Amino acid sequence: MTKREILLRLLSYMRRDRRQFVIATIFLLVAAVAEVTGPYLVQIFLDNYVAKDHYPAMIMWALAVGYIVSTIVSAGFQYQYELRFNTMAVAIIQRIRKAVFANVIKQPLSAFDYVPMGRIVSRLTNDTESLKELYVSVLSTFLRNIALIGVMLVAMLMLSVQLTMVVLVLLPCVVLVMARYQKRSAPAYRRARDRLADINGVMNESVLGMNLIQLMQQERAFSSRFSDMTADHLDAMVTIQRLNGIYLRPLIDLLAGAALLSLVAIFGFSGTAVIGVGVLYAFLSYLGRITEPLIEMMQQLSLLQQAISAGERLFEMMDTPPEQYGHDTTPIPDGAIALQNVSFSYDGETPVLSDVNVDVPAGGFLALVGHTGSGKSTLASLLMGFYRAGEGTLTLGGLPIESLSHQSLRDGVAMVQQDPHMLTGSLRENIALGQTLDDEKIWHALEQVALADYVKGLPAGLDTLLGEGGMTFSAGQRQLLALARVLVRQPKILILDEATANIDSGTEELVQQALNRLRQQMTVVVIAHRLSTIAEADNILVLHRGRVIEQGRHQSLLRQQGRYWQMYQLQQASAHLAALEEEAQV
């Protein structure tokens, strides 16, 4: 999109509040007329009464009262204009921010594979604030000043056409200066905004990964990287300030000074016989009031540049197509899973899964094992619909996954991840996640994961606050809580992605018991690090470099003495060594 198209699109958001805009404009025009009336009344006083040394009391009082009333009316209607216009502007920003956020959370996960989270947050916060300045400051200022200049020009024409022509020469020159300023400042503002987004992204990543940075002694490297970005941002800002120092006031003041000298020269040559002292006073007053709005509009161009750059990025996020789902709203009838010749690649070049075939009946227990990078989590993501298979077919409950609507897919398939995200709210809020659930349903889910007794023992029960990231609960409790979170939805397929990797053997036993109960209600897919968790699985897929190299039940795979048998022996040896170490410490 060009800058003109971006600006027109931003202005189009005002159509929804056109009635509010019309009322604000009427207030603005009344305020402008009232402001111009003051110097006009002074001109009448000087030329008609002071010059003739005639001061009728009634007229003097009328002029004084008129001057005071015009000042009060100007201030009052200006306030009403600002109030209504700014209210409309803030409402527009809220709509834009909600539209961008609504589209961001609907994006496929692939859209976030290579985009830093800090950059996205920066766009949702800093860029929307820049847009607010467009409506609150730029548009408001331009409309107010254009109305004021227009009314003053009309008043000038009524006073003296000859002097008005002198002032009108100033306006085209100012327009040329403004155009030149906009052309030269646009690249600098765009660079400044991009660097600011990068700075926020690095700050976000650094704070989240602070323990890793300090552990790997990379403080100096990250500080150097941050310093380079801030230096580039500073250079862009210095360029902007240099342009501001040249274009904003000096050139405008120079043009205004030339116009002022021309007015004085005309008055000197013509004398009071042609141009009265009051007219000269009014013109000098109007010239000063024209100059300041012109300078103010020039200053607002910097905010306009920022707003256009921000609008470009926000519209890019807003216009990115959301995750595409099918149109079949039929609920998944059962938990049957079928993959036929499924292959997948994240970048279209490096294969992650190759020719995967598996059939899981409804109520079955499928386990996925393999070393890091074998494709286990990728296969789970395909089952969740986070990514589309590059080749082959994948059906859930006999229905092609690409035909399922978003609602059907999310109601039918649920996942518990290795490190589940916890909100800072209450335990109830973490289970409901925005849904309207009665406490009975929540307690039933907690009982299914053997967490109900613990929660009942808490002083606040379901209203217990979990703290930042759920840190008041242990890793095992967070896993059980995440499991309860998905059980309230009663999905047909439950996926556990390394859900037992970070928990102790006691909690693992609780998860195992919960899985045995859940198998009566749904199909269970477990990505396992600990092979003891999947000993009862109906089918175990052993993945290596994206291919299924072995599959079968636990005992049959052990008898084959292949890769699964090797993994099992390594874990048994590790467990034996750990037991010996405990005995030695005792």
**How many angstroms separate the CA atoms of 72 and 83, rounded?**
17
- Is pLDDT at 394 greater than 90 in this prediction? yes
* CA angle centred on 317, ends 94 and 303, rounded to 5°: 60
List phi, psi (to 5°) of 583. Answer: -65, -40
Say what the pLDDT of residue 393 is.
92
Average pLDDT value over all residues in the chain: 79
Q: Higher pLDDT residue, 183 or 261?
A: 183
Q: Which residues contact 275 (CB under 8 A, 6 or more apart)?
A: 160, 162, 163, 266, 267
pLDDT, tens digit, 9 for 90 and up, residues 549-572 = 999 998 999 999 888 888 888 878
- In the beta sheet, which residues pair with residue 321? none
Say what the pLDDT of residue 341 is.
92
Q: Nearest CA to 51 among 289, 281, 260, 283?
A: 281
Q: Which of these ranges, 123-127, 224-228, 360-364, 429-433, has the smallest mean pLDDT?
A: 123-127
Could you identify the residue written with the tokens 């230096």? 231
Domain boundaries, the chain: 3-319, 337-585
CB 323 within 8 A of CB 108: yes
Confidence of residue 63 (pLDDT cuts 50, 70, 90): confident
CB 487 within 8 A of CB 448: yes
Q: Which of these ranges, 226-230, 248-252, 288-292, has the smallest mean pLDDT?
A: 248-252
- In the beta sheet, which residues pair with residue 360? 337
CB 490 within 8 A of CB 484: no
Q: Which of these ranges, 61-70, 81-90, 512-521, has the smallest mean pLDDT?
A: 512-521
Report the topology of domain 337-585: Rossmann fold (3.40.50)
Q: Nearest CA to 100 among 298, 252, 279, 320?
A: 320
For CA atoms 501, 506, 510, 512, give the dihedral sign: positive
Confidence of residue 248 (pLDDT cuts 50, 70, 90): low
Q: Higher pLDDT residue, 543 or 502?
A: 543
**How many angstroms separate the CA atoms of 351 and 549, rounded?**
16
Say what the pLDDT of residue 552 is.
92
Q: Which of these ranges, 162-166, 317-321, 535-539, has the smallest mean pLDDT?
A: 162-166
Go through the chain and tell me how many residues it has.
Answer: 586
What percentage of the chain's residues is helix, strand, coil (to nearest 5)? 70, 10, 20
Domain 3-319 has CATH 3.30.565.10: no
Q: Residue 473: helix, strand or coil by DSSP? A: coil
List phi, psi (to 5°) of 392. Answer: 85, -175
> 67-73, long-range: CB within 8 Å, 24+ apart, which pairs?
67/37, 67/38, 67/41, 67/42, 70/34, 70/35, 70/37, 70/38, 70/41, 71/34, 71/38, 73/30, 73/31, 73/34
- Is pLDDT at 281 greater than 70 in this prediction? no
| Single-letter amino acid code for the residue at 154 | V
For CA atoms 152, 153, 155, 161, give the dihedral sign: positive
- Is pLDDT at 181 greater than 60 in this prediction? yes
Mean pLDDT of 445-467: 83
Q: Higher pLDDT residue, 271 or 510?
A: 510
Confidence of residue 534 (pLDDT cuts 50, 70, 90): confident
Say what the pLDDT of residue 272 is.
46
Confidence of residue 396 (pLDDT cuts 50, 70, 90): very high
Confidence of residue 528 (pLDDT cuts 50, 70, 90): confident
Mean pLDDT of 57-81: 88
The top-scoring range by mean pLDDT among 52-56, 77-81, 156-160, 487-491 is 77-81
Mean pLDDT of 194-208: 75
**How many angstroms separate the CA atoms of 143 and 29, rounded?**
10
Q: Higher pLDDT residue, 548 or 127?
A: 548
Largest CA distance in the chain: 122
Q: Nearest CA to 63 among 80, 86, 46, 85?
A: 46
Mean pLDDT of 106-123: 66
**How many angstroms separate the CA atoms of 394 and 402, rounded?**
8
Q: Which of these ranges, 198-207, 271-280, 320-329, 392-401, has the smallest mean pLDDT?
A: 271-280
Q: CA distances (Å), 510 to each of 17, 479, 507, in order?
A: 57, 11, 5
Q: Which of these ranges, 88-102, 278-292, 368-382, 398-412, has the smallest mean pLDDT?
A: 278-292
**How many angstroms separate the CA atoms of 327 and 311, rounded?**
32
- Is pLDDT at 124 greater than 70 in this prediction? yes
Confidence of residue 342 (pLDDT cuts 50, 70, 90): very high
Mean pLDDT of 415-431: 80
Mean pLDDT of 163-187: 72
> 262-269, long-range: CB within 8 Å, 24+ apart, which pairs?
262/166, 263/163, 263/166, 263/167, 263/287, 266/162, 266/163, 266/166
**How many angstroms separate the CA atoms of 586 and 582, rounded?**
6
Q: Residue 231: helix, strand or coil by DSSP? A: helix
Say what the pLDDT of residue 35 is.
82
Q: How much of the chain, in percent, has pLDDT values that exceed 70?
A: 82
Establish how many alpha carbons lie within 13 A of residue 395's alpha carbon, considering only the half-sphere containing its beta carbon. 13
Say what the pLDDT of residue 274 is.
46
Q: Residue 120: helix, strand or coil by DSSP? A: helix
Mean pLDDT of 53-57: 79
